[in-house]
Amino acid sequence: METQDMAKILALAVQAAEAGVDYFPTTGARCPFCGRRKVPVCTTRHWEGQTRIRYHKCGNPGCYLNQIGKTIKSVESLEARG
Ligand SMILES: [Zn+2]
Q: What is the pLDDT of residues 41-55, one digit of tens each?
A: 999 999 999 999 999
- Angstrom distance (rounded) from CA 50 to CA 47: 7
CA of 31 to the centre of ligand 1 (A): 5
- Angstrom distance (rounded) from CA 58 to CA 72: 8
Would you call 75 helix, strand, or coil by DSSP? Answer: strand
- Band (pLDDT 50/70/90 cuts) for residue 28 is very high
CA of 7 to the centre of ligand 1 (A): 15
Could you tell me if 16 and 34 are in contact, meaning their C-beta atoms sit under 8 angstroms apart? no
CA of 45 to the centre of ligand 1 (A): 21
pTM: 0.89
Query: Which residues on adjacent β-strands are paired with residue 23?
Result: 29
